[in-house]
Amino acid sequence: MDKLTVFKYPVYVSDSFHVSMPVGAKILDVKMQRGETFMWALVNPSAPTMVRNFKLCGTGHLREDLINCEHVGTFFANKDGSLVFHLFV
How far is residue 61's CA from residue 68's CA, in Å, rounded to a whole number? 16
Which residues of the chain register pLDDT less than 70? 1, 81
pLDDT at 78: 75
Predicted local confidence at residue 2, as pLDDT: 79
Q: 7: how many CB neighbours lie within 10 A of its CB?
A: 15
| pTM for the predicted model, two decimal places | 0.88
What pLDDT does 22 receive? 98
Longest dimension (CA), the chain: 45
